């Protein structure tokens, strides 16, 4: 084994600053977290922060010991339930993980949508934090008010990430400490609680078997009807397709919907503690899914529920290169079927589930579809590896200088300003590409800075009126530095945020205080 040890102070500093783990939490590609929770850690956080998790004093103290040590000061919060016995919630436990004591300076304020969020339409005008699935996360001053911790909150590829917010507001060291606590707590919590998958988890429940037979029978009838129209030369062609392409598109779309329908039934029938369902809900496994052909040369990515459906109800239509299984023999896929047959079972439809077991022909079709995934993985690995090598070779001598210009090893100017805007993608806070997430910063300011009651204000503590705010904001934006250093798009975003969030709240409070003053004078 070869060891490469930096010899000079400059080399040591470069290794520490450029190669250190804490310096590479976010990827320079788009600034999203690269180091985040996966698999068991996401499952553990989700199970801890569910709404029905209540811990007695012994269990609560033991869970605290999982992520802490003798050097960490822990301030135990009052229990959420006092009678008939003291009980603490899992959300209180996770809040301690973020801010263990009053001495800690980590004050997180975050609002974000989780994977289990019902949607605005289902809420029917109610606030988002009233989601029946507890799918809207609200954190106020490091206290979790509602919501669960799943992949969208502690996983990667999202800037509404808990660790990302800690990183941006309190530095890399605090983010790394929080990640370490999460890793310790989740691993030990799951080891004590137990989390496994067995044959009972994939056994069909309720009316699933009868509904499955009904759905598949109806789809077979519709496919046979389309095949008969094709044989009678009466099928109506889709735009840009001949009769055979139209038939394939119609049948593929109909068979692909079977798996979607059965997946929805599975999620309704399964118990909420079902292990595959838990992993699907929190995003620790089963997110990717597969690409399905939905007709008219369209493909859609169907995720999560498909994995549960394939184990419990139906594996579904096998797709290779966007189409059903092609003929491998003379006008048929396998010698087990009639010549020229276009029936669902003859072209790769697998009606069985992994629980019930596949027939020999279904197993062959499923193996053919799985082979395509392996080949794609192998080919893409070679292509992306060679592409990266070419990019690195072409860009290896480019350097960003202290005057913000980008030059090569010969001193030739490549860019006057890095990226033409001078922004480091690692430090861009918003998901839409804005340098600062103004809404989050505003919420954090409102929650972290206490409001002084009117009765306790001194003479110099008068509140700014909306007119004074507008004047200060107008003078600020007219400054030469803002016009010189800020892009027009950013100034437009900043103005819209100020008008929507700040002035709207100020106008509301002004009207409320005016109404209260008027009532006081009348009384």
What predicted TM-score, i.e. pTM, was given to this entire model? Answer: 0.82
- The pLDDT assigned to 320 comes to 86
Instruction: Please provide the size of the chain in residues.
Output: 523
Mean pLDDT of 120-126: 78
- Report, as an integer, the average pLDDT of 205-220: 86
Q: How many CA atoms lie within 13 A of 198 on its CB side?
A: 5
Cβ-count burial 181-201 (b if 16+ within 10 Å, e if not)? bbebbbebbbeeeeeeeeeeb
Confidence grade of residue 453 (pLDDT, cut at 50, 70, 90): low
Mean pLDDT to the nearest integer, 229-254: 84
The CATH number that domain 15-193 falls under is 1.10.274.100
Which pLDDT belongs to residue 387? 94
Exposed, middle or buried, 10 (CB in 10 Å: 0-12/13-18/19+)? exposed
Neighbouring C-beta atoms of residue 160, cutoff 10 Å: 18
Containing 89, the helix (H) or strand (E) segment is strand 88-89
- What pLDDT does residue 180 have? 92
> Which helix (H) or strand (E) is 415 found in, with range?
strand 413-415
Q: Which of 165, 166, 179 is nearest to 440 (CA)?
A: 165
pLDDT reading at 429 higher than 80: yes
Q: What is the mean pLDDT of the chain?
A: 83
Query: pLDDT band at residue 298, thresholds of 50, 70 and 90?
Result: very low
Helices (H) and strands (E) in the chain, counts: 18, 12
Contact 41, 155 (CB under 8 A): no
Query: Residue 293's pLDDT is what?
Result: 36
Per-residue model confidence (pLDDT) at position 294: 35
Structure tokens belonging to residue 115: 């994977």
Among left, alpha and beta (phi > 0; psi -120 to 50; other), residue 411 is left
Q: Find all residues with CB under 8 Å of 12, minimum gap 6, and list them.
A: 6
User: Looking at per-residue confidence, does 480 or 26 come out higher?
Assistant: 26
Q: How many CB atoms lie within 10 A of CB 507?
A: 13
Which of the pair, 85 or 302, is modelled with greater confidence? 85
| Residue 84 per-residue DSSP state | S
Mapping DSSP onto H, E and C, the string for 463-498 reads CCCHHHHHHHHHHHHCCHHHHHHCCHHHHHHHHHHH
How do the domains of the chain map onto residue ranges?
A: 15-193, 199-348, 463-522
Of 102, 103, 90, 112, the closest CA to residue 163 belongs to 112
If you average pLDDT over each of 155-164, 176-185, 306-315, which comes out highest? 176-185
CA distance 52 to 212: 32
Taking alpha carbons only, the member of 40, 30, 82, 79 closest to residue 424 is 30
Q: Indicate the pLDDT class of residue 297, thresholds 50, 70 and 90.
A: very low
CA 177/CA 171 separation, integer angstroms: 10
Give residue 287's pLDDT: 55
| Helix runs in 88-161, H state only | 90-98, 120-123, 151-154
Question: Coil, strand or helix: which one is 399?
Answer: strand
Rounded Cα–Cα distance for residues 37 and 26 (Å): 13
The widest CA-to-CA distance across the chain, in whole angstroms, is 95
- Residue 462 pLDDT > 80: no
Flag the least confident range among 7-11, 69-73, 301-305: 301-305
| 199-348 maps to CATH 3.40.50.300 | no
303-346 confidence digits (pLDDT tens): 467 888 888 888 988 888 888 888 887 888 888 888 888 888 88
The reported pLDDT for the residue numbered 239 is: 86
Q: From start to end of 59-106, where are the E strands?
A: 88-89
- Name beta bridge partners: 54: 89
Provide the pLDDT for residue 132.
Answer: 86
**pLDDT for the residue numbered 430:** 83
Which stretch of 198-202, 272-276, 431-435 has the lowest confidence by average pLDDT?
431-435
First to last CA, the chain: 86
**Who has greater pLDDT, 473 or 61?**
61
Tokens of 126: 């109610």
Answer whether residue 38 shows pLDDT above 70.
Answer: yes
pLDDT at residue 257, as a whole number: 85
Degrees to nearest 5, angle at CA 269 with 264 and 275: 95
Q: Is the pLDDT of residue 512 over 70?
A: no
Classify residue 341 by burial, with Cβ atoms within 10 Å: 0-12, 13-18, 19+: middle
Q: What is the CA radius of gyration of the chain?
A: 29
């Amino acid at each position: 084994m070869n060891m490469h040890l930096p010899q000079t102070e400059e080399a040591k500093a470069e290794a520490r600053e450029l190669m250190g783990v804490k310096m590479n939490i976010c990827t320079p590609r788009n600034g999203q977290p690269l180091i985040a929770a996966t698999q068991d850690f996401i499952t553990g956080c989700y199970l801890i922060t569910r709404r029905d998790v209540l811990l007695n004093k012994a269990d609560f103290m033991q869970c605290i010991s999982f992520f802490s040590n003798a050097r960490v000061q822990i301030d135990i919060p009052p229990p959420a339930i006092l009678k008939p016995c003291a009980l603490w919630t899992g959300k209180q436990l996770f809040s301690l993980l973020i801010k263990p004591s009053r001495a800690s300076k980590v004050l997180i304020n975050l609002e974000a949508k989780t994977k289990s969020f019902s949607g605005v339409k289902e809420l029917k005008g109610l606030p988002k934090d009233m989601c029946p699935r507890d799918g809207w996360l609200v954190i106020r001053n490091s206290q979790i008010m509602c919501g669960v911790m799943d992949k969208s909150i502690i996983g990667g590829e999202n800037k509404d990430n808990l660790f990302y917010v800690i990183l941006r507001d309190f530095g890399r060291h605090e983010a790394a400490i929080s990640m370490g606590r999460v890793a310790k707590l989740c691993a030990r919590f799951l080891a004590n609680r137990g989390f496994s998958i067995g044959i009972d988890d994939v056994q069909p429940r309720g009316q699933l078997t009868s509904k499955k037979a009904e759905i598949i029978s109806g789809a077979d009838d519709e496919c046979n009807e389309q095949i008969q129209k094709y044989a009678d030369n009466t099928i109506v062609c889709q735009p840009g397709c001949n009769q055979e392409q139209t038939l394939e598109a119609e049948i593929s779309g109909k068979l692909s919907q079977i798996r979607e329908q059965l997946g929805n039934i599975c999620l309704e029938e399964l118990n909420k503690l079902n292990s595959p369902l838990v992993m699907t809900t929190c995003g620790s496994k089963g997110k990717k899914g597969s690409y399905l052909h939905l007709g008219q040369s369209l493909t859609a990515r169907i995720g999560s529920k498909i994995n549960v459906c394939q184990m419990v109800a139906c594996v579904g239509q096998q797709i290779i290169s966007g189409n059903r299984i092609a003929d491998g023999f003379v006008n048929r896929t396998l010698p087990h079927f009639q010549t020229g047959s276009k029936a669902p079972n003859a072209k790769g439809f697998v009606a069985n589930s992994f629980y019930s077991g596949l027939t020999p022909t279904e197993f062959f079709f499923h193996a053919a579809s799985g082979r395509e995934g392996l080949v794609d993985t192998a080919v893409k690995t070679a292509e992306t590896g060679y592409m990266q090598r070419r990019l690195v070779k072409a860009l290896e001598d480019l350097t960003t200088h202290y005057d913000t210009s980008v030059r090569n090893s010969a001193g030739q100017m490549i860019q006057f300003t890095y990226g033409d805007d001078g922004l480091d993608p690692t430090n861009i806070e918003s998901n839409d590409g804005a340098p600062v997430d103004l809404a989050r910063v505003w919420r954090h300011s409102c929650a972290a800075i206490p409001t002084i009651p009117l009765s306790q204000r001194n003479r110099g503590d008068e509140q700014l009126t909306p007119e004074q705010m507008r004047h200060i904001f107008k003078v600020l934006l007219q400054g030469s530095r803002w016009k010189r250093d800020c892009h027009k798009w950013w100034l437009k975003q900043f103005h819209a945020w100020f008008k929507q969030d700040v002035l709207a709240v100020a106008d509301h409070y002004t009207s409320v205080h005016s109404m209260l003053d008027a009532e006081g004078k009348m009384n």
